[in-house]
Chain A
Amino acid sequence: MVAENSTPHLHSAVEPRQTIRRRLDMFARAAMPSLFIILVAVLLSAPFGIPGQPELQFGIAMCTVWFWAFSRPKSMPAWAVFLCGLSVEIFSFGPPGAVLLSLLVIYGVAHHWRYGLSRLGFVSCWLIFSFFAALASFFQWALVCVHAFALLSPAPGLFQAALTIGIYPSLTALFVWGRRTFANPDQA
């Protein structure tokens, strides 16, 4: 198994009692990645005036879904991806459905290849993610062009893809630490 038994020392024969508090704690830890996406979607829709806010919204959602879909699928089920995608859709004003569809597709890819991906090194994972991030940005650009009925400049899409690919390593570092500690249901 890949991620389900990531902390084997805690899988002893003697399990702690399933109290309500422990169950809530486990649920909160398992829901951490989804809550992270929703919180980021809301925060980055506020008028802070940071350059690249909408691109970051998309990039962080993509990185989070990709990482958790192959490293701990139990923390990122398909319906949670759908809810996260919907919340990003609501708090952004891009072409409807583009982010949601991109998130579901990247989830499908990561979930389907999860055994292979967790055997691969970080750089290979990053390269495969980069390909799909670029593909999702291209899809979004094509959809915007259809909405506008004109051929728009692809520069914003390229910037979005570059930002998404660029933030992946630092987010991975955060998630690897989170998978061991605050987002680990086994430590509840």
Chain B
Amino acid sequence: MFSIHTRQVLARAALPILILLAVALVLLGLVRRPVVDGVRLRATDILAPAYQALVYPQARVQEWLVDLRGATDLAKENARLRDENRALRHWYDVAVALAAENARLKSSLHWIPESAPQYVTGRVTRDDGGPYSRAVLLDVGSGHQIHTGDVALDSAGLLGRVTEIGPHTVRVLLINDDASRIPVTLAASRGDAIMAGDDTDTPRLIYYPQDHHPIEGERVETRGQSAMPAGLPIGTVHYLAPNRPVVMPDADLRRLDIVRVFDYGDDGGQAPDAPGRVKVRRPAAEPTLPGGLPFPRLPGMPETLGKGGQ
């Protein structure tokens, strides 16, 4: 079809053109990351059943191994379970008594009951952290009502927050990701802190009051800001080194299987404006042309600058 010369020119030009396309993808990732992540979520949506089929043999083998290990020392396991059952019965009685007392106190205080949160349960489709981040994809089925910022928990404690939403799949950024910052309360010392992920298994505690250092072994709970309610269990404080407190998460972040995503409603904890404070009046939204500058107009900048220099 083409002459030999044309074909040689095309062959030489192919690699530079493809490299330019790759650079364009890098730039697109920097400017519009959600577009790229949306395509990846859709690909995961399509492959979700295949992933389940792929890990099915591995899950079965692991189940057999657990059964086999249990069968080898049945007597010891029985004794341990009996002891644990006795302890659990005691805690059950304590819990029932406390629940009754709590209900009585609430009724005498005319406590306004909190609305029960909606939740969706999903199975982890895949761990998609990569070398630099910690995140998982959940298969939550179609027609879910999950929003960005919803809270993900496993049976033991907080796992993370939802960052991207696909038709069947949602991405949950785990609490040990480098980008995760969660306001927490320390249960015993009642101090506040920020739990910052650093890509290790134990997120660090930062910005705690210098006169109230976290105590080794005390419980760490959520503080209750934005879409996250107060009092969700996260883990316990542990000192890896002097002045370096970390949180040992209750949830097993390495082996995640079934995860629940709770919708606690957004900005439920929004504080009212302080009395006497002049309310800031936001300027009316200006009609912007598509393709305008992505940042707001700066004061003192000519009006035409943001609109393509008309």
Contacts and interface: CB of A to CB of B under 8 A. Distances in A.
Are A and B genuine complex partners?
yes
A53 B126 CA distance: 11
Interface stretch (B101-109, B110-118, B128-136, B234-242): B128-136
A186 interface: no
B99 to A, nearest CB: 37
Given A104-B18, A108-B19, A148-B178, A97 B28 contact: yes
From A53, A82, A97, A108, name the one whose CB has the most chain B CB atoms within 10 angstroms. Answer: A97
B56 to A, nearest CB: 10
A46 B21 contact: no
Interface residues of B, number: 45
Interface in B24-68: 24-30, 33, 36-37, 39-40, 43-44, 47, 50-51, 54-55, 58
A157 B130 CA distance: 11
A85 interface: yes
Contact of A144 (B14, B36, B132): B132
A31 interface: no
A42 B126 CA distance: 11
Contacts, number: 120
A60 interface: no
Contacts of B133: 93
Classify the interface of chain A: helix, strand, loop or mixed.
helix
B37 A93 contact: yes
Name which of B28, B30, B131, B198 has the most chain A CB atoms within 10 A of its CB: B131
Interface residues of A toward B: which range? 35 or more
A159 interface: yes
A101 B129 contact: no
A3 B243 CA distance: 61
B23 interface: yes
A118 interface: no
Nearest to A77: B14
7 interchain residue pairs of minimum CB distance: A96-B29, A97-B26, A97-B25, A156-B131, A101-B22, A96-B36, A93-B128
Interface of B: 14-15, 18-19, 21-30, 33, 36-37, 39-40, 43-44, 47, 50-51, 54-55, 58, 124-133, 135, 171, 178-179, 198-199, 254-255
Given A96-B36, A150-B178, 20 more contacts: A45-B44, A45-B47, A45-B51, A45-B126, A46-B54, A47-B55, A53-B127, A79-B14, A85-B22, A91-B40, A92-B128, A93-B40, A93-B130, A93-B133, A96-B25, A98-B26, A100-B22, A104-B15, A147-B33, A156-B199
21 contacts: A46-B126, A47-B51, A47-B124, A47-B127, A53-B127, A55-B131, A89-B25, A92-B40, A92-B130, A95-B29, A97-B25, A100-B25, A101-B19, A101-B25, A140-B131, A144-B132, A147-B33, A150-B178, A152-B132, A152-B199, A153-B199
Interface of A: 42-43, 45-49, 53-55, 77-79, 81-82, 85, 89-98, 100-101, 104-105, 107-108, 111, 140-141, 143-144, 146-148, 150, 152-153, 156-157, 159-160
